[in-house]
Structure 1
């Protein structure tokens, strides 16, 4: 048993938690199943790994570039608060789970393993479950397993046997992974014109919900809102038609203003600026770096997505029929309007800052500090989907609403379950809205609440299937045939 646990621990640490190598392994397995020559298998694996590493450089650069603003707002105004961010949330669980519940954090990795097996089994038996998406974003799985571990321990104190606790946790988390990523298949296939992947991240239910709302907004209005890429701005405004220029100028206005408020003296004292460095050119460099990192991120997407979707066909044909891989939400930034990304980010940031102001005015027992990962990756992603369905209006309004939800929902659940005392909570849309609701159901209806949550999740794909029996699996198996079917049905 110890040997098996050591093997699993090595795999989890070096592959499952490292998305680049997890994606590379999937590509290699897929190409082997497709009986590709060894050099194509090797080349495809390397290209997928390097492509994801490029994406990670872009994502990491965006996060680190935002750090002076987050740290500055906290220090400059003496804010002692909880940060909503996946990494802060994971650290909070690490620090507090043994103290609060008497449980070891090492059990989180066991939870991840069993939940991943549940996801695989649900997709393998898609004929009955109607689930078609495999969650492959390893670092996100670790963050979610950590937070789910805390929430379910809080909600189900009546489960005293460790084995029973792990089985219940794994069943709920595995269902969430499978159902959530499955919900994003339709909007993602429509966004990418059948690229053959879906989203496996922290806002899967949010993507599905806001895509639906954006579609309703588009159909309800007398005058259909144009998509961002279809808007041609006149005169000097035409420079905003170019993504790099638009991102750079918007960040100069938004973050330039915040950095000016923080002041040169603070930035030097905090170590963000060097003595004698030009304050003006520091601001310009920080703001323009957003455009640089976005361009790097989009290059990474283009590099590995083709390899992943082509190779996954081998896995779909031989092991998981009709399935698609669930990947990082940043992959969608290579599709649709590039300008939806900064606009969604800014709209979500305004929503978050407004909600934080309300918490301060109401003297909330929990004060929230915005984390870059929720404010950027949630809201930029929602904007990309909203723009595709409902145009520019949806791309601005819906991320703003998401920003409000992230702060209010996270403040409520983190205070209620006690995570706020340890400095952080995951904070992204699904974990600010869906998971608090599921936690409350399990808390207030012991035992039955667990059944309600699991059955409720598993009922979602059944409802989706019944609404479109003819096209449901065709959507992932042959997207061109699916489009032809929809066109025929609409005529």
Structure 2
């Protein structure tokens, strides 16, 4: 393995390993016992791995739901899918990506140490995603290698610093403190959601209730929100199957009846969500105390910025409805593309993006604006993260024509900003 692979696919490319190293260093700095250091390091890595396992299980169900939606609407288009674009970018621009990640992280830490913005971005795979997008975008311009690396590193550091900072006022209302922040490149989407939800703030003395009373009654009945999540997904799959038609469903799922498919997929999804929540709790219980050691030495008063599922446990039901209304907003955006004249590029909602980003947006929106804020905020959020990737596609011409693009809002925003810098500052 050469140095670029060691950087892009090693320490910075594997979030669980990166967080484990941070926990280890933090506990060593605090002079904890050997037993506590081993325990904290392993539990930190295990917590993140549980999140990945849960995301994979939920992703199986979400992928099948996406397939039903595509077949139901008979639409062939471009799906926002970060991993696909990153794989292509690494083949063509692997060396650029590695250096952009390395220097971007160094600049980001320097900013965190010497500026009031004390957020330390720890979502490793999103660092890889943004570095890949910047490398693919900058490489098509007549720039030297080190010009690409310097500009890309600066933009990456800016995104890693500004994103958590602009999201934190809304995240703080969810978690009630500044112990953690959200490090996920959908900060523009979260901010828009929070602003919209603020228009529906509860009145003073207004009684707080669950997002939707009928759904909350199911939760009380079964004493577990995972049961409610299962019923929700079962209903969603059953409705999608009905819309597609039983013949197509049995064709897609090896002649299994729609009812059986709906039950199994709902269970897979709920199991994935359950494991994600367990992983989040374990990760936070270890990484936050361990991070204090690093904060004292490297970034005084530093705030770890972690992936957006850390918000799910604060309002699990709101996260599920956030996903639903975000997806609905994405479907409306897809309909707009279909209706536009002479429009040959159609963006199909990326189910995974709507689940994670939409779920976190749902928690923010419900905390701030209760039920109305949740519905309106996440619907507009879903419309935005489906519509913005369309404008990013021309900027990724260096990858050729691919049926995928980046799904979260910040990729398009940073892409536009990079293009503006190159055109109006460098005259390219």
1:252 maps to what in 2? Answer: 234
1:15 maps onto 2:11 in alignment: yes
Of 192, 196, 215 in structure 1, the residue corresponding to residue 198 of structure 2 is 215
Of 283, 291, 295 in structure 2, the residue corresponding to residue 304 of structure 1 is 283
- Per-residue deviation, 1:13: 2.3
Q: Which runs of 5+ in 1 are unaligned?
A: 99-103, 450-491
1:110 maps onto 2:93 in alignment: no
Q: How does 1:120-269 map to 2 (within 5 A)?
A: 120-125=109-114, 129-153=115-139, 157=141, 159-194=142-177, 196-218=179-201, 229=210, 233=213, 238-240=217-219, 243-269=225-251
1:386 maps onto 2:365 in alignment: yes
CA contact (8 A) 1:85 1:425 kept: yes
1:315 maps to what in 2? Answer: 294
2:339 maps to what in 1? Answer: 361
- Per-residue deviation, 1:440: 4.7
Q: Partners of 1:224 and 1:390 in 2: how far apart?
A: 14
1:343 maps to what in 2? Answer: 321
Residue 87 to residue 269, structure 1, CA distance change in 2 (3 Å): same
CA contact (8 A) 1:347 1:400 kept: yes
CA contact (8 A) 1:355 1:404 kept: yes
**1:276-334 CA distance string (max 9 Å, x none):** x4431221111233222111110111111011000100011111101111111111112
Where 1:298 maps in the other structure, the secondary structure is helix
CA contact (8 A) 1:188 1:199 kept: yes
CA contact (8 A) 2:193 2:380 kept: no
1:463 maps to what in 2? Answer: none
CA contact (8 A) 1:195 1:309 kept: no
**1:119-174 CA distance string (max 9 Å, x none):** 1111121xxx22211111111111111112223445xx3x5211111101110111
Q: Partners of 1:165 and 1:225 in 2: how far apart?
A: 54
- Per-residue deviation, 1:62: 1.4
Where 1:188 maps in the other structure, the secondary structure is helix
Residue 14 to residue 105, structure 1, CA distance change in 2 (3 Å): closer
Q: Which runs of 5+ in 2 are unaligned?
A: none
Where 2:344 maps in the other structure, the secondary structure is coil
CA contact (8 A) 1:228 1:387 kept: no
RMSD: 2.7
> Comparing 72-81 with 52-61, which one deviates more in the overlay?
72-81
> Comparing 369-378 with 293-302, which one deviates more in the overlay?
369-378
1:421 maps to what in 2? Answer: 401
Q: Partners of 2:206 and 2:78 in 1: how far apart?
A: 38
CA contact (8 A) 2:155 2:418 kept: no
- Per-residue deviation, 1:208: 3.4
CA contact (8 A) 1:410 1:425 kept: yes
Q: Partners of 1:289 and 1:302 in 2: how far apart?
A: 20
**1:220-262 CA distance string (max 9 Å, x none):** xx68876554x6837x961155522332232222222112333
TM superposition score normalised by structure 2: 0.90
CA contact (8 A) 1:226 1:391 kept: no
CA contact (8 A) 1:84 1:426 kept: yes
- Per-residue deviation, 1:435: 2.6
- Per-residue deviation, 1:72: 3.9
Q: Partners of 2:405 and 2:190 in 1: how far apart?
A: 20
Residue 35 to residue 12, structure 1, CA distance change in 2 (3 Å): farther
2:53 maps to what in 1? Answer: 57
CA contact (8 A) 1:84 1:427 kept: yes
Of 63, 66, 82 in structure 2, the residue corresponding to residue 67 of structure 1 is 63
CA contact (8 A) 2:189 2:385 kept: no
CA contact (8 A) 2:117 2:161 kept: yes
CA contact (8 A) 2:54 2:276 kept: yes
- Per-residue deviation, 1:394: 1.1
1:36 maps onto 2:32 in alignment: yes
Report the number of matched residues. Answer: 423
Residue 267 to residue 190, structure 1, CA distance change in 2 (3 Å): same
TM superposition score normalised by structure 1: 0.79
